[in-house]
Structure 1
Amino acid sequence: MTDDFTPLRSVLYMPASNERALEKAKTIACDALILDLEDAVAPDAKPAAREAACAAAASGDYGRRTVTIRVNGVGTEWHAADLVAAAAAGPDAVVVPKVESADQVRALAAALEWAGAPDHTRLWAMVETPRAIFEVRDLAAASDRLACLVVGSNDLVKELYAEHVPGRAPILPSLHLVLLAARAAGIQVVDGVYNDVKDAEGFAAECRQGRELGFDGKTLIHPGQVEEANRAFAPSPEAVEDAEGLVAAWEAGAGSGVVTHRGRMVEHLHVESARRTLAVAEAVAALDREA
């Protein structure tokens, strides 16, 4: 984990065409916002939404939240103007849908550089097509500006002619590949959305699954999903207590050969995992202190 690790437990899509939504976002306890210029915005509203998203991202009014702008995809009539405007606004990241290759990542990074995007404006690539899944290992490692992969599960299900089912068996192989690619590249990775905003139990189950798989957090379509995502993707108090005890046992037993904690053999890999748990917990606590 890098020193500049930022929690992305809850990543909330907000339509940039909705002024009330942009205002409300200032009070929502999500870790990150995606100010959307793509799916949530009608074609005739896109220019005004672009202006509103860029103004919001440049305002500094969103406190501790990571603020990103999702531009329209490569090849659309709005993409170039979106990218130039977003680069000038300097959000924490520019999110690009349907990225499918390492060459596209490099071209996007070059375009942001050309447009004058500041160094802190990172690139997030949405992985949501079969081609992207096959290319994801190279895609994830293609540029230092790329900081996060975002699963576009709705589009992926559509492209596979699959179905949305509890447990997500039809797309689990794809989810694993995206996770493997992100971890190999040392970047963050965020799970796809859960569509039924009234199904709290199903949403909680999918959050648990995403956390168990290894995702850093989940993209969300409704503010009511934020609290559960924040809880699910943060280390529990029990996990923190266990990690503290394991690290203490390891440090106390240094040089003794065999170290155990609560009846379990402790090896260096367990200590690394425990220290990561403590680092994530501290990063979450620091973020919450700024709320």
Structure 2
Amino acid sequence: MLLRHARSLLFLPASNARAVAKVRTLPCDMVILDLEDSVPDDAKEAALDGAVAALAEGFGGRLAAVRINVEGTRWHGAEMVALKGTAADYVVLPKVEHPKQVRDVFSVAQKPVIAMVESAKGVLNAPAIAAGEGCAGLFMGVNDLRKDLGIPPSADRTGLSHAMQAVVLAARAAGIAVFDGVFNRLDDEIGLEAECAEGHRLGFDGKTLIHPGQVPVANQVFGPDVQAVADARRLVEAATGGAERFEGRMIETMHVEEAHALIARAEAVSSR
């Protein structure tokens, strides 16, 4: 599966062997083995060993990534080295504010990097980060960004809207994938669905998640609509080139390309 086709990207502690085993039964599109926030300091070395072992076993065709610890911590260097040569598809790098951070990880780990944008400086530098060597995608780090911007945790995402759109713009300009941040309220399925829908409207490819129960909602919202896919197939079949009329509207090459992209996404999802 291409990264841009991923709908649901699930974080789980690499130190939790039970969670790692369970994720192989879930319909998420990407597994993100976390070595950072969800793992206490005294368990980080064991978590790295567990991540390497889990990658060797595989995740049944799901994309696999590892979130390493931030640059400057005592674990960062060893984690980059350990992931080189593993079956990880991506390395997730937290708190990115400069393209050099991504380039350094890419150089050592020899894996494409997904950069987490979690600060005002990260948002302002997102175009350079996205276009930099080794960057394959961007994650919105909404919790840390709220703190950096001084937005109360209880507030809605209105204050984040400019930053979110700026990160989407940076990713699209660089031609890479971009994913919405996590939703913290684990028992609020209605709120999760609304936030996924908002992220979809903003242009995010999918959503990062922190609980298995969130996966079906993200898959549904970010997955191709059945009717839209059927419409796209009819459009592709009818198109003959240039501007022309199709079912009461004008279409041109751009619309055909969009239809092909939607069909490809639908086919990628159906193969999971």
- Displacement after TM superposition at 1:4 (Å): 5.0
Q: What is the DSSP-based 3-state SS (H/G/I as helix, E as strand, rest coil) of the residue aligned with 2:214?
A: helix
User: Are 2:31 and 2:64, in contact at CA under 8 Å, matched by a contact in 1?
Assistant: yes
Separation of aligned partners in 2, 1:72 and 1:231: 31
TM-score by length of 2: 0.95
- 1:181 correspondence with 2:170: yes
Separation of aligned partners in 2, 1:260 and 1:242: 14
Matched to 1:260, the amino acid is R
- 1:267 correspondence with 2:236: no
Number of equivalenced pairs: 272
**2:120 is matched with which residue?**
130
Separation of aligned partners in 2, 1:167 and 1:238: 31
TM-score by length of 1: 0.89
Q: What is the DSSP-based 3-state SS (H/G/I as helix, E as strand, rest coil) of the residue aligned with 2:116?
A: strand
User: Are 2:96 and 2:117, in contact at CA under 8 Å, matched by a contact in 1?
Assistant: yes
- 1:76 correspondence with 2:73: yes
User: Are 2:14 and 2:34, in contact at CA under 8 Å, matched by a contact in 1?
Assistant: yes
Q: What is the DSSP-based 3-state SS (H/G/I as helix, E as strand, rest coil) of the residue aligned with 1:76?
A: coil
Matched to 1:11, the amino acid is L
- Displacement after TM superposition at 1:124 (Å): 1.1
**2:159 is matched with which residue?**
170
Matched to 1:187, the amino acid is I
Cα distance change on mapping 1:167 and 1:259 into 2, 3 Å:
farther
Separation of aligned partners in 1, 2:259 and 2:87: 35
Matched to 2:124, the amino acid is F
**1:237 is matched with which residue?**
226
Of 42, 47, 57 in structure 2, the residue corresponding to residue 49 of structure 1 is 47
Separation of aligned partners in 1, 2:3 and 2:92: 18
Consecutive unaligned residues in structure 1, runs of 5 or more: none
Consecutive unaligned residues in structure 2, runs of 5 or more: none
Separation of aligned partners in 2, 1:104 and 1:47: 22
Q: What is the DSSP-based 3-state SS (H/G/I as helix, E as strand, rest coil) of the residue aligned with 1:193?
A: coil
Please list the CA deviations of residues 195-215 of structure 1 after superposition, one character each: whole Å capped at 9, or x if unmatched. 001100010011111111111
User: Are 2:8 and 2:209, in contact at CA under 8 Å, matched by a contact in 1?
Assistant: yes
Of 95, 98, 104 in structure 1, the residue corresponding to residue 95 of structure 2 is 98
Q: State, as a whole percentage, how many aligned pairs show the same letter.
A: 46
Matches within 5 A, 1:1-291: 7-60=5-58, 62-112=59-109, 117=110, 121-143=111-133, 145-164=134-153, 168-251=157-240, 254=241, 259-286=244-271, 288=272
User: Are 1:182 and 1:188, in contact at CA under 8 Å, matched by a contact in 2?
Assistant: yes
- Displacement after TM superposition at 1:111 (Å): 2.2
